[in-house]
Copies of this chain bind each other. A is one copy, B any other.
Amino acid sequence: MTREIPYKIYLEEDEIPRRWYNVRADMKNKPAPLLNPATHEPMKAEELEAVFCSELVKQELDDRNPYFDIPEQIVDFYKMYRPSPLVRAYCLEKELDTPAHIYYKFEGNNTSGSHKLNSAIAQAYYAKQQGLKGVTTETGAGQWGTALSMACAYFGLDCQVYMVKVSYEQKPFRREVMRTYGAKVTPSPSMETNVGRKINAEFPGTTGSLGCAISEAVEAAASQEGYRYVLGSVLSQVLIHQTVIGLETKRALDKYDIVPDIIIGCAGGGSNLGGLISPFAGEIVRGENNYRIIAVEPASCPSLTRGKYVYDFCDTGKVCPLAKMYTLGSGYIPAPNHAGGLRYHGMSSIVSQLYDDGILEATSVKQTDVFAAAQRFAKVEGILPAPESSHAIKVAIDEALKCKETGEAKNIVFGLTGTGYFDMVAYQKFNDGVMDDYCPTDEEIARSLAGCPVIS
């Protein structure tokens, strides 16, 4: 007998995961190691510890242990906004008139407005444990910066955020949320760091990129006593913290004996996607199960679908380690589109390797199609989604409409990573019909990739 599925599947508080899952332990082809940009040797723990918190370095380098325990204080913080609901999109199904069953894991019910808090609180915790004064970071759309500000306020840490200039200008209120939580916010590229001044001189009037902001935040951490740099995506540690999303999703589905046919996530740096799919990808690589997994990226920043899988710099200033990943080149500065969180030139090394191994597929979508899907979703599901999250909505709707044609009642699960409350400038452009659909030409991408691979 099938139990009736509620609109929202909530787990109990004691069902919050107590361990993060490290999918690398189960991968046959391990992601390639980070390399020292000078020596081209794998980064050693002590080298990384100059920039990152020690415990986080351990997590970054460990591709053997399948689980990391979640410290009690982090679980306590999780209890303030987790478990997050797995929502059955009954109203969207009705609107689409599809036989498909659509589910979304909603991570937006916290003030940072997104899943970013899952890793922010972990990183702030380890920084506090290490006795640091504060941390520096970059932020694109501002969700990560907001999340880190909240986490730092909770543990009494100083927080310095370099915010991609285009987002800083498009989202003035994001800055105020961060300030309300006590953070210092600087538009990037700034004139406060050597790398910022250099980038400003080289590209006058640049609207910035995550790659630039990372370089500045790293420099700021290195030049202040008692500070370390923390990152909101791309790194394996972040993806691992985000597996709370996937673990809860799996548990909620299991409760109702739901087996997903398709799992969809938006892909910027890859951490939310990787966190959502890890438990499922683990089953695939272990040969236990099969699922169709789709990564969705913006047509304006198509690292998986149009980039190269090579060693590249993680940042524009070339101060960070080299990572093997799908990349558009570390100098790639996407058009000032509005899905700010999906503007990174590269991709998580775990997601890159899973993609190269054929465990997941990737597709790219146009911005106006994304906003049309967002609006359609908002009108029936009562949630105004973030532009980033709406990339996944767009493809979920497309797949549900295919089911309508074929009559298949597929189970479609997607990650709804956050809310769009701070993205109203973008929604306004869409409402006014003046939003563009810029995509880079092949020549632009080739030019940006000219220096890649940095090493082969």
Contacts and interface: CB of A to CB of B under 8 A. Distances in A.
Interface of A: 6-8, 10, 12-13, 76-77, 79-81, 87, 90-91, 109-111, 113, 117, 150, 153-154, 172-173, 176-177, 179-182, 375, 378-384, 419, 421-422, 424-425, 427-428, 430-431
A111 B420 CA distance: 9
Contact of A80 (B81, B109, B179, B382): B382
A87 B427 CA distance: 32
Contacts of A110: 382-383
A291 B393 CA distance: 47
A404 to B, nearest CB: 21
Given A79-B6, A180-B427, A424-B176, A380 B111 contact: no
Contacts of A6: 12-13, 79
A232 to B, nearest CB: 17
Contact of A180 (B80, B378, B382): B378
Contact of A382 (B91, B154, B382): B154
B378 A80 contact: no
Number of copies: 2
Nearest to A88: B79
Give the dominant DSSP class at A's interface: helix
Contact of A7 (B13, B179, B422): B13
A207 to B, nearest CB: 21
- Point out which of A91, A379, A431 has the most chain B C-beta atoms below 10 A from its C-beta: A379
Contacts of A380: 153-154
A376 to B, nearest CB: 10
A419 B111 contact: yes
Contacts of A424: 172-173, 176-177
A76 to B, nearest CB: 8
B383 A176 contact: no
A52 to B, nearest CB: 25
Contacts of A181: 378-379
B8 A79 contact: yes
A353 to B, nearest CB: 34
A107 B182 CA distance: 25
A176 B419 CA distance: 14
Contacts of A76: 90
A344 to B, nearest CB: 25
Nearest to A13: B6
A87 B381 CA distance: 24
Nearest to A149: B379
A431 B8 contact: no
A10 B14 CA distance: 13
Contact of A421 (B77, B421, B425, B431): B421
Given A91-B80, A421-B421, A384 B7 contact: no
B180 A381 contact: no
9 contacts: A8-B13, A91-B154, A153-B380, A154-B379, A176-B424, A176-B431, A177-B421, A179-B431, A182-B379
Nearest to A79: B7
A111 B150 contact: no
A4 to B, nearest CB: 9
A430 B176 CA distance: 10
Nearest to A87: B80
Contacts of A428: 173, 176, 179
A340 B173 CA distance: 18
Contacts of A427: 176-177, 179-180
A384 B431 contact: no
A45 B103 CA distance: 45
Ranked 9 nearest A-B pairs via Cβ: A173-B424, A7-B79, A421-B421, A176-B424, A153-B379, A6-B13, A111-B384, A176-B428, A80-B382
Contacts of A419: 111
A367 to B, nearest CB: 15
Contact of A173 (B80, B173, B179, B180): B173
A151 to B, nearest CB: 9
Contacts of A431: 176, 179-180
A374 to B, nearest CB: 8
- Point out which of A80, A110, A153 has the most chain B C-beta atoms below 10 A from its C-beta: A80
